Amino acid sequence: MSNIKKPYVIVLGNEKGGTGKSTAAMHVMVYLLRLDFKVGCIDVDARQGTLTRYIENRIRYNQTHEERLPTPVSKALQKANFDDVKQNEQDEKARFDEAMAELSDCDFIVIDTPGNDTFFSRVAHSYADTIITPLNDSFIDLDMLVRLHSNDPNNLRPSVYSEMIWEQKKNRLMRDKQPIDWIVMRNRLTNLYAKNKEEMHKILTALSKRVGYRLVAGFSERVIFRELFVQGLTLLDLQEVGIPLSMSHIAARQEIRSVLDMLQLPHLQKKLETAG
Ligand SMILES: Nc1ncnc2c1ncn2[C@@H]1O[C@H](COP(=O)(O)OP(=O)(O)OP(=O)(O)O)[C@@H](O)[C@H]1O
Ligand SMILES: [Mg+2]
């Protein structure tokens, strides 16, 4: 795998809370761990610490059960708290670089960011090979990508978040001569509002070229995600921990596989070639 970039950095981000970043981060990581990749993660949302707690719950699960569920090496970064903004930024950049260096032997580093704009989040985005932005099927979430006027796809302005991504794409290109693959992943899809779902698909597809992302279908709405968090488990662990797989679980695991396929991660493609 000498010609493949290591570590490959995947950032979960958007500037809206509760769209599924931390949940998706955990599922992506466990998927990669189960393929025997070495995975590290950085929680730059340590104040909320959802991903950190998810991993703590998983470690506790391992301590109290017989299984040894694969678990990522994890780092949590707290915001700096000096009076001076520049000093805060220097301190945060130095600690971010340190965490990245400590994880440099990983195949993948997954970074979970908060649902609002922070310095840590901007730095993390600028190091991404892939950014995954989970989006719920609502016009409020759509607003995070573009400012729409009267739902007319021809009458739009970029949102502050898409402007930030363009900025970080430029930074990445100048610093590393590398592009960023931006993925918008629809999450919590339901069949209840089929009309709305279809409308969102049309708009998101129409916007994809203009805003510069690739669109993927993500996870359906499933109550099980909440319960899994508490136990530190993912849908990819159910068999190992002895939970019988229902049709819904099987469909959910298939959704996760499809998302990972759509990411077109070079390591995975290489692994499949080698295996085949
Ligand atoms: N597909 C889904 N179906 C049902 N519930 C989901 C789904 N995805 C996420 N959730 C739930 O939604 C809540 C928010 O998810 P999560 O914490 O992953 O979002 P987030 O984007 O990381 O939030 P924040 O911006 O606050 O960090 C959690 O309770 C999670 O279990
Ligand atoms: Mg989160």
Distance 23 CA to ligand 1 centre (A): 6
DSSP 143: T
Q: Residue 219 CA: which ligand 1 atom is closest?
A: 1
Per-residue confidence (pLDDT) for residue 271, from 0 to 100: 80
- Give residue limits of the domains in the chain: 8-275
pLDDT in tens, 192-210: 778 888 888 998 998 999 8
In three-state secondary structure terms, 14 is: coil
Q: Are 145 and 162 in contact (CB under 8 A)?
A: yes
- Whose CA is closest to atom 23 on ligand 1? 18
* CA pair distance 39, 107, nearest whole angstrom: 6
Distance 167 CA to ligand 2 centre (A): 23
Residue 48 in contact with ligand 1 by CB distance below 6 A: yes
Per-residue confidence (pLDDT) for residue 2, from 0 to 100: 47
- Whose CA is closest to atom 25 on ligand 1? 17
* CA pair distance 152, 90, nearest whole angstrom: 42
- Whose CA is closest to atom 13 on ligand 1? 18
10 Å CB burial of residue 263 (0-12, 13-18, 19+) is buried
pLDDT in tens, 68-81: 999 999 999 999 99
Residue 234 in contact with ligand 1 by CB distance below 6 A: no
Q: Are 9 and 111 in contact (CB under 8 A)?
A: yes
How many C-beta neighbours within 10 Å does residue 87 have? 11
Residues of the chain with pLDDT under 70: 1-3, 149-153, 276
Per-residue confidence (pLDDT) for residue 59, from 0 to 100: 97
Distance 166 CA to ligand 1 centre (A): 25
Distance 141 CA to ligand 1 centre (A): 14
Q: And the tokens for 222?
A: 């499933």
Q: Output the pTM of the full model.
A: 0.95
10 Å CB burial of residue 94 (0-12, 13-18, 19+) is exposed
Per-residue confidence (pLDDT) for residue 275, from 0 to 100: 73
- Tell the CATH topology of 8-275: Rossmann fold (3.40.50)
Residue 162 in contact with ligand 1 by CB distance below 6 A: no
